[in-house]
Every structure is written in C-alpha cells, then in structure tokens.
C-alpha cells in the first residue's frame, strides 16, 4: 500500500485518510479541483492522476483535446498524462507486455493528502500501488512498487513531482515522463530554447540521432524528438512579440521530449479539433533515454516546474 512514510524527508507530512474540504480545494468522485484566492485553478482526474486544466494569468495553459475521453475508458489526450514505467513500447524487457507509455496514466489513483501552507499555493498528493492495478496489468508487470505524485499550484507555476519506491524483493527499472501538452497561441510563432548542442533522437526520421544546431527550435512540420541529457532550463518563447510563455525547470529529469503531430493529428482518433495542433506543443520532462534502476528498498524522485 502506498503510504506517506515512503516519501523522503523534505516531502514528509502526516498521512491522512480523509481530506479536509477547504474552500480552495474541491474533491469530487472522479477529480480534484484546486483554487487559489488570486484566481488560479487546476483540475486533476483520479483516472491517471491526469491534470486536465491549469488556468493562470487569466488563461488556460494546457491543451486538452475536445475528443479526449475523461471517463476512464482510455488515456486522456491532452493535459499532463503521467508516463510510467515505460516510455513508448519496449522489446526484450520486463515492460514489453505493457501498453505504450505504461499503466500510470490508465490507472485510478488514490488521494493521499492536501496540505495548504498559505494562500500562495495548494498541494495535492496521489498514490498508486499494486493494489490499484488490474489483474491483467499485474501479470504484465508483477513488481512491487509505490508511487507518490504531488501536484502544487502557485500563482505563477504548476509543479509536479513523482516519487518512485521499490517495495519488493527484487530489483527492477523504469522510465518516467510528464507528458505535458502546453497551449500556445500559434505553434508556428513559438520557439523552444535551451536545446542547442544537445543530442536528440528523431522519431520522425526513424530514431536517427542528430545534434540540435539552433538556438531556437521552431515548428513548421511534425516534430517528435527525444533530447538526451539536456543541461539546463528550457523555455517556450513567443518569437513574434519576444516574450517567454513558459519556463520549464527540471529536477532529476535528464531528458526533454518535444512533440507536435502537425497534420498527422487528423489520423489520431481522439485528437480534436483536427487543426488543434496549431495551438499546442508538448514539452515533456522525463527520464526516458535510458532505464532508471531500482534496487530493493530504494527510491527515486524527479519533478518539473512550469512557470508563466
């Protein structure tokens, strides 16, 4: 069973089984809604612990497909789905029986706690363990684990943090990724910075490796790249007005995935509207270019803060 005692010291707060329904947090049967007095909001489904809305600065900051399934029937297209324990599909690996991107985004999580220290932020924690998985998923990946997923809303940022613990008697390894769909006014007029000189795997080109040569990565066609061992902060800028839209800061997450399906969006059944790709750009912080090993009793933590 996932428990608060599995968190490292800086995250430890007393475990509670019931949540006090403060005025800034609303708990519904399938989701949690967070509110700040200054007007910022976030909405997280229990299904997948998927963040489906983040409103700050008077605007929606996440792209959510108008065809996204929010009833638990399939992974959510948009928002911030959580990838664990495998990125994509694997072969000749213990995760190779799992569906693409693993089971975290398609499992129902438990609410562990909300803790508000001031009017400046609100936090909610979700837990996932073997007892939350289906019988079939346990057969596909039989390891014992505990996950704590923390979402923190502030006036200017959305912070997400994942704690992974090996609670079994044998080692295993995993990938993790925060699959963030950022909303942008016009994808052809934005650029991603902070990637120059970084090696990437170009999935559009069959996984070919290359090195980013541009100070500003712009989008004019389908892009699906895994940037490996990105050294610093990544930003999304509006190059038309010279303004930073988002700053992406990572903790213990070496890799950054940049994805936009372009007109291929028309072939994705749950992507809508068909031209919605013009207003979204996935900038995804993760640990996916290599496997993260987990010895018995060990834990790993990684997180990302997206600021406006």
CB 51 within 8 A of CB 44: yes
CB 80 within 8 A of CB 276: no
Q: How far apart are CA 214 and CA 195, in angstroms?
A: 8
Locate 14 and state its tokens. 């007393």
Q: Is 66 a catalytic residue?
A: no
- DSSP structure class, residue 110: E
165 marked as binding residue: no
Q: Which of 43, 237, 284, 301 is catalytic?
A: 284
Q: Is 179 a catalytic residue?
A: yes
Question: 213: buried, middle or exposed (CB in 10 Å: 19+, 13-18, 0-12)?
Answer: exposed
Question: 173: buried, middle or exposed (CB in 10 Å: 19+, 13-18, 0-12)?
Answer: middle
Q: Which of 40, 43, 179, 237 is catalytic?
A: 179
105 marked as binding residue: yes
- Other C-beta atoms closer than 10 Å to the C-beta of 214 total 11
169 marked as binding residue: no
Q: List the catalytic residues.
A: 179, 284
Binding-site annotation: residue ranges for substrate? 77, 100, 105
Binding annotation: 77, 100, 105
């Amino acid at each position: 069973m996932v428990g608060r005692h599995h968190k490292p010291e800086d995250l430890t707060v007393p475990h509670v089984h019931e949540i006090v329904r403060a005025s800034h947090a609303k708990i519904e049967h399938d989701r949690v809604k967070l509110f700040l007095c200054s007007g910022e909001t976030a909405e997280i489904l229990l299904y997948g612990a998927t963040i489906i809305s983040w409103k700050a600065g008077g605007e929606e900051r996440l792209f959510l497909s108008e065809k996204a399934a929010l009833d638990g029937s399939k992974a959510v297209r948009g928002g911030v789905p959580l990838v664990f324990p495998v990125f994509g599909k694997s072969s000749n690996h213990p995760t190779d029986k799992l569906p693409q991107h693993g089971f975290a985004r398609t499992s129902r999580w438990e609410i562990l706690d909300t803790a508000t220290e001031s009017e400046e932020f609100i936090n909610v924690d979700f837990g996932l363990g073997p007892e939350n998985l289906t019988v079939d998923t346990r057969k596909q990946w039989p390891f014992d684990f505990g996950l704590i997923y923390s979402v923190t809303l502030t006036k200017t940022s959305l912070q997400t943090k994942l704690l992974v613990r090996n609670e079994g008697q044998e080692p295993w390894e995993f990938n993790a990724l925060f699959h963030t769909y950022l909303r942008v006014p016009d994808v052809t007029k934005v650029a991603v910075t902070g990637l120059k000189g970084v090696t990437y795997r170009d999935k559009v080109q069959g996984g070919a490796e290359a090195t980013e040569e541009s100070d500003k990565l712009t989008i004019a066609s389908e892009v699906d790249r895994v940037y490996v061992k990105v050294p610093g902060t990544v930003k999304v800028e509006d190059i038309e007005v010279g303004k930073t839209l988002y700053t992406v800061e990572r903790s213990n997450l070496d890799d950054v995935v940049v994805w936009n399906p372009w007109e291929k969006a028309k072939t994705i059944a749950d992507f809508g509207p068909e031209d919605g790709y013009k207003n979204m750009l996935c900038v995804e912080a993760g640990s996916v270019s290599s496997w993260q090993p987990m010895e018995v009793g060990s834990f790993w933590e990684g997180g990302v803060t997206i600021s406006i």
